[in-house]
Amino acid sequence: MAQIQRNQPLYEQLMWRIKAQVASGVLIIGEKLPSVREMALIEGLNPNTVAKAYRALENQNVIETVTGRGTFIRANDGFAADEQLIASLQQQLGEVVIEAKRASISVQELHRWLDSCYSGKPHSPRRMHDISH
Amino acid sequence: MAQIQRNQPLYEQLMWRIKAQVASGVLIIGEKLPSVREMALIEGLNPNTVAKAYRALENQNVIETVTGRGTFIRANDGFAADEQLIASLQQQLGEVVIEAKRASISVQELHRWLDSCYSGKPHSPRRMHDISH
DNA sequence: CACGTGTACCGCGTAACATAGTACACGTGA
DNA sequence: TCACGTGTACTATGTTACGCGGTACACGTG
C-alpha cells in the first residue's frame, strides 16, 4: 500500500534522496546509514524496499555494506565515466531540453538551473526529504 | 513479444523520437504524420501502441488530430510553463547532475552538452531514428 | 458508397513493484 | 557463550503497467 500516485518506484526515490544528500555533503564519507529496518520505519516503507535500494546503491558504489555492522557512505574513488553512462546522461539531458524548449524556457535559464544543481543547493521549490528524520 | 530489453515503454520512445524531430525542425508545423496503422508497420509496433503515443502527444499539444483526416504537427502556441512542469524538469536535471558529478564530469562539459542539445543537433553518438523511413 | 482515418473498447499474458513473512550468516557487545 | 542487530535471501501474494490481438465505431474524403 504505502503511497499511491507516484511515477517512480519507491526504492528509486529513496536512492535519489540518499544520492542527493551524498552529493550535497549532508552525508559524508564513512557515515553510517540507518539500518534496513530502521530506515523502513522512518520512511514508512517495507524493509524489503529499503534493502532493494541499498543493494542497488551498493552496485553503484555509492555505499558500502559490511554484513554484520551496517551500511556506510563510500568514497567515490576512481569512477570511470562509462561510455554507456555518458550516452544515457546525454539522452536524459536532451529530453529535459526538448521539454524546456516547448515551455519557452531560455537556454540561459537552463544554465542557471544547471549551476544551481551542481553547486549542490536547489534553487527553487525542490523538495529534498531528509532521511535522518 | 515485440522488443525485449528496454527500460522505457515503447510508446514513450516513439513519443520522444517525434518530439525530437519537431524540436530539431525535421518535422515542421502542419506536417502530416503517418497513420496509426502505417506507423505501426514502419516502427514494428502494434497499432494500439502507436495510438497510445499519438493520444499522449495530443494531450501535450504536440500534435493535432482530425478524426477523419490524420494527425499533424501542431503549432506551439502559448504554452504556459506549468509550475509542476518546472519542478519536474528541475528534478530531472538534478538527477543528471548528480550522476555527472559522480562520474567526474565537469560543469563546463555539462554546459556544452546543454548548448548542443538546445541547438537541436546532438553532439555525439545520439541515435535519432527517422520515422519518415 | 467504399475507403482510410482516429478512437474506444475487451481480453490475455508478462513483467515490475510493493507487501508480508520467514530464515540464514555475520559481527558486536554483554 | 549468548542475545542482539546487521544485511541478505527466499517464497508467496496482490496490484499495476505494459504490450499485444482483435473488434467495433464515428468521422471525413473521394
Taking chain B (133 residues) in runs of 10, the rounded mean pLDDT of each run is: 60 94 91 94 93 93 90 80 88 95 93 92 48 35
Q: Tens digits of per-residue pLDDT, A86-111? A: 999 999 999 999 999 989 899 999 99
- Round to whole Å and give the CA distance between A23 and A63: 13
Q: In terms of CA atoms, which chain A residue is nearest residue B81?
A: A103
Name the burial class of residue B63, with classes exposed (0-12), middle (13-18) and buried (19+) by CB atoms within 10 angstroms of its CB: buried
User: B36-43 vs B47-59: helix axis angle to the nearest 10?
Assistant: 120
Residue B120 is predicted with a pLDDT of 73
More confident residue, B93 or A83: B93
Confidence of residue A133 (pLDDT cuts 50, 70, 90): very low
Answer yes or no: is pLDDT of A121 > 70. Answer: no
Q: Which of residues 6-25 of B touch A (CB under 8 A)?
A: 16, 19-20, 23
Give the closest of A79, A87, A104 to B79, CB-based. A104
Task: Report residues 20-49 of A contacting strand C, contact meaning Cβ closer than 7 Å.
Answer: 45-46, 48-49
Assign 3-state DSSP to chain B and report helix, strand, coil percentages, each to 5: 50, 5, 40
State pTM to two decimals. 0.84
Q: Tens digits of per-residue pLDDT, A44-81? A: 999 999 999 999 999 999 999 998 899 999 987 767 77
Longest dimension (CA), chain B: 53
Q: In terms of CA atoms, which chain B residue is nearest residue A103?
A: B81
Give the number of beta-carbon pairs within 8 Å between A and B: 126
- Round to whole Å and give the CA distance between B56 and B22: 15
Strand pairing of A70-73 and A63-66? antiparallel
Q: Which of residues 39-98 of A touch B (CB under 8 A)?
A: 62, 76, 79-82, 85-87, 89-98
Answer yes or no: is pLDDT of A122 > 80. Answer: no
DSSP symbol at B18: H
Grid cell locating A119 = 553547486
